Copies of this chain bind each other. A is one copy, B any other.
Amino acid sequence: MPPTKNAPRFSVDAQKHHHSLHLVHPCDTCAVRPYSACAALNPDEQKRLVDIMKTVDIEAHQPIFNEFDKAQHVFNVTEGAVKIYKLLSDGRRQITGFLFPGDFLGLTHNETYAYSAEALGATKLCRFPREKLEALLDAMPSLEQRLLGMASHELAAAQDQMILLGRKSAKERVVSFLLMLSNSAVRHGRPGNPVSLPMTRNDMGDYLGLSLETVSRAFTQLKTQGLIQLLDERQVRLNKPDALREIATGF
């Protein structure tokens, strides 16, 4: 069952006009966050970024781009959530990340994208033409520094994911995932305890290297042990964060 994807369907807003409204804080649009790129730029630099930027709306479950497409744009999530993934030729899928407001996608040093990207729910993005962004980079070391910091942060996260995928049990993976989502929410300025889960069990499985059934069973087990509590189907309360942290780190 190789999930054959249709072509990207997104509408580009004609938003050029009110860019000027955002000049002082362009990153209100571009979702400024601790790890976002536009913080710490001077007004002139911000203006140059905003000038090459367009806002894009994506409907739920629509592709944003596919692996091996020509990499013409770089995106920044402003609202909603995105999953990025790679496929093996027989359809096996590995989700390599879930992205939230402030996160970049589509950065690459090759001609083509290194992964596919799809919106989880209704999502807004900032879109930068790649060659223009790269020209800006050369002229703005501070932006480049920022990107390096983000890349190094992502690299650390990728290594955590490797130990999860290579060495953790199903339960440890699910617990690690919940804590990771919680931490990420806090970093992005959202509440960290009732954790919201904008993705399906299947997506979680493809992120954690598990089947959807195993993810579901892990949830049930954690519920039974009183460690978590499902409020709404897409909302989990972490009852004993410390106990969960111990499970996640392998005690």
Contact = CB atoms under 8 A, between A and B. Distances in A.
From A107, A141, A147, A159, residue with most partner B Cβ within 10 Å:
A159
Q: How many copies does the complex hold?
A: 2
A155 B153 contact: no
Chain A interface size, as a band, is: 35 or more
Given A115-B159, A141-B144, A151-B151, A167 B94 contact: yes
Contact of A94 (B114, B149, B166): B166
A75 to B, nearest CB: 16
A151 B153 CA distance: 10
B108 A156 contact: yes
Contact of A114 (B144, B159, B167): B159
Given A96-B163, A141-B141, 7 more contacts: A90-B251, A92-B250, A96-B162, A114-B156, A155-B158, A158-B159, A166-B209
